[in-house]
Amino acid sequence: MQREKFIERILLLLALSAIGSLALITVFIFLEGVPLILATGLNKFILSSHWAPTKGHFGILAMIISSVLVTLGAMVIGVPLGLACAIVLAEFSPKRLKLVLKPTLELLAGIPSVVYGFLGVIWLVPLIRVYLGGPGLSLLAASIILGIMILPTVISISIDALTAVPDLYRDGSLALGATQWQTVSRVVLPAASSGIITAVILGMGRAIGETMAVIMVAGNALQIPTSVLDPVRTLTSNIALELGYAAGRHREALFATGIVLFIIIMILNLSATLITRRR
């Protein structure tokens, strides 16, 4: 019995260490970043887009806007695709197709992001440059790559939401003479809507946090984009690009960028949790 207790305690300790590391990370980035925000002024930090950290300008507005735009772009591409895929898998597909499709999609989640980025640079970026203009490294390229990268998240959570809808609903609808598509679009989807919204929000979290692939295809320019073909720099890219050389104030500014990112992702995840709870 004593040994049982001992193991239980070890497991508890390991479980707590996960939470502990989250707490440590939070404390650390706030300790490192807050002094700069205080020194620069929150308004100037968030509402200026003049970023020249070695010359004392710390404005991240352009990056906040770019992060939001890249994420929205990824949603525009990833959500319809992912949702369609989830509906097919949950409602229409024959068992055998499902047997092939589902593991394939899970494999998509296992591809490292640097591979997506590499494919983007080699294949997507030249296509955009030649056929649409601009330097190719652009908001559009980043959105497309991220749209594909969030598919597994969106699909798997949407499928869970759809399969959680009781068959009674489907049977009732079909019995009333609705076609299968009417059943799905008017009965099953509304019933699963909170789960699907969660899927979308978690997909957003994934998109806004992605770094490597975005650095490779987004071009990282510091301006506020005026077209989808303009290069952009997201909050995550900014940290990863410059951390290698940053010292002093510059380094603090990157942690402060991290704080902004942290808060955005916290809000996204909390809202996803709240929406799921309400169900």
Q: Which residues bind another protein (CB under 8 A)?
A: 3, 6-7, 9-10, 13-14, 49, 51-56, 62, 121, 125-126, 129, 134-137, 215, 219-223, 230-231, 233, 240-242, 244-251
Point out which residues pair with 52 in neighbouring strands: 57
Cα separation of 15 and 12, whole Å? Answer: 5
CB of residue 221 to another protein, shortest distance in Å: 5
CB of residue 222 to another protein, shortest distance in Å: 4
* Nearest CB to another protein, comparing residues 181 and 245: 245
CB of residue 54 to another protein, shortest distance in Å: 6
* Nearest CB to another protein, comparing residues 74 and 239: 239
* Nearest CB to another protein, comparing residues 201 and 254: 254
Q: Which helix (H) or strand (E) holds 275?
A: helix 249-278
- Name the E strands within the chain: 51-52, 57-58
* Nearest CB to another protein, comparing residues 98 and 249: 249
Concatenating the DSSP letter of every residue in 189-221 gives HHHTHHHHHHHHHHHHHHHHH--HHHHHHHB--
CB of residue 226 to another protein, shortest distance in Å: 10
Residue 239: both structure tokens together: 């940290």
The alpha carbons of the chain give a radius of gyration, in whole angstroms, of: 22
* Nearest CB to another protein, comparing residues 173 and 237: 237
